[in-house]
Every structure is written in structure tokens, then in C-alpha cells.
Amino acid sequence: MRKTTVLGLILVLALALLAACGGDDDGASSSSSSSQPAASSSQKAPSGGGMTLEQYANDREDFRARIMAHKNKRRVAIGPNVTLYFEDALTMQYQIQEMLRLERIFEAEKIQEELDAYNPLIPDGSNLKATMMVEFPDIEERRAELQRLIGIETALWLAVGDLSRVTPIANEDLDRETADKTSAVHFVRFELTEQMISALRASEKLLIGIDHPAYGYAMQVSTSTQAALVRDLKG
């Protein structure tokens, strides 16, 4: 993913965090809007970004409210300082629309570049994809913790029922760690077997956790969030 696209995604995520800060910490939002489309495994962000800049300017307030409700059901907090935001076609459409708006992009070729950059973050039916945020509000504390939390993205895991744990493929676009510190943002992909997908569809519990020497937490994903994630999977 292009560096400018990554920076733009981080900015959009930061704005989304501010808008959604009143949501449940464990992704257990129980309300559901019938107007929110379920993302299928074959979805990609709409060609052309979905709406023109003029259309988006007119509809942005309502669209953002809809997206925040949708994203809240796909948000999973792991302990007090790490959150996973599971992506799908609708969340990526929002990222693209915001990028087009921020950068005032009109040209079809440049719009396609944004689509090509963001579409790989959409699950393809056999996996779940998420943006992992390491969140410490205080700048000095964050700097110190990012030094302590090197390797946290590889300590992340997911488990369906009693099946084996899955560790994610992290940061396929570029290395986000140095010898001195990790990044506050990681992009992760969980590849699931057919058995795992079937178990999720059968409502087997979904567990997510982190086993890091400096940060160890595990939690069960809420039924509403699990139902939202199952819609990303084929079968």
C-alpha cells in the first residue's frame, strides 16, 4: 500500500475513533440498522469510489452516521489499549470517499489508484482482515509502550471454539517495526479453514487475544460482532 494511502487511512481511522468513542468497548453493540448492508465475500469498494465529491459532500453527515454504527459492530477491544477494526467493503468505501474528499481527487485514473490501494483490505471470503490500533492517549506513555510492545502484532491470535489458534499475517504492505519500537497501527489478515468457517456459522464461540510478555489479554467476541464478521465469509 502506498505510504500516502496508509497515512490517509490512519487519519480517517482517527476521525472515526473520535466519532465512535461512545461505543461499547468489546464490540457488543446490540442495536442494528436495517439500512446497513451486509458485506459479502465478493464485494469490492464501488468503482469510481461510489459517489462523486459533490454527492458525498451532500450525503456525508448521514453516510458517516451509518458507517459509525456499522464500524462499531465490527470493533473488538482487546484489553484497554488495543482495538481491532474489522474491515469490509463498506468500511473501505468510507475510507476511499474520505481520501477523495481530503485530497480533492476527481480524475478517474487517480480514483482507480485509491481503489487498487484499499481493495486488498477487504476480506475475500476465506479470511478476516482488520486494522489493529495500539492506543495510548498520552504521547510520552505511547512512546514508551511502543518500545515495550515490539512484536505485538505477531502475538495476536484468534480461535474458533476448541479448534487451533490462528495467528495473523501482519503488515503485508511494509514492515511497521524498527529495532527500537513497534507501530501504533498494523494491518492483519486471519486465514480461516473451512472447518473454522463452518464452526463460526454454527455459532461456536470466537475468541481473540494477545499473548505478549508486556500485554496479555483474551476475550470472547460478542454475538452481534461475530454475526457481522460471519457475513464476510463464504459458504
CA separation for the pair 6, 28 (Å, rounded) = 28
Q: Which of 20-24, 100-104, 112-116, 155-159 has the lowest mean pLDDT?
A: 20-24
pLDDT band at 193 (very low <50, low <70, confident <90, very high): very high
Q: Could you tell me the pTM of the whole model?
A: 0.76
For residues 157-162, average pLDDT: 98
Q: Which of 1-10, 47-56, 58-67, 217-226 has the lowest mean pLDDT?
A: 1-10
Output the pLDDT for position 14: 47
Q: For 7-31, what is each residue's pLDDT tens digit?
A: 455 444 444 444 444 444 443 333 3
Q: Is the pLDDT of residue 220 over 80?
A: yes
Element (H, E) at 17: helix 3-20
Q: What DSSP string runs through 27-74?
A: S------TTSPPPPTT--PPGGGSS-HHHHHHHHHHHHHHHHHHHHTT
Q: What does the mean pLDDT of the chain come to?
A: 82
Residue 8: phi, psi to the nearest 5?
-65, -40
Domain regions of the chain by residue span:
3-230
Task: Specify whether the CB–CB gap between 70 and 36 falls below 8 A.
Answer: yes
CA separation for the pair 41, 61 (Å, rounded) = 27
pLDDT band at 106 (very low <50, low <70, confident <90, very high): confident
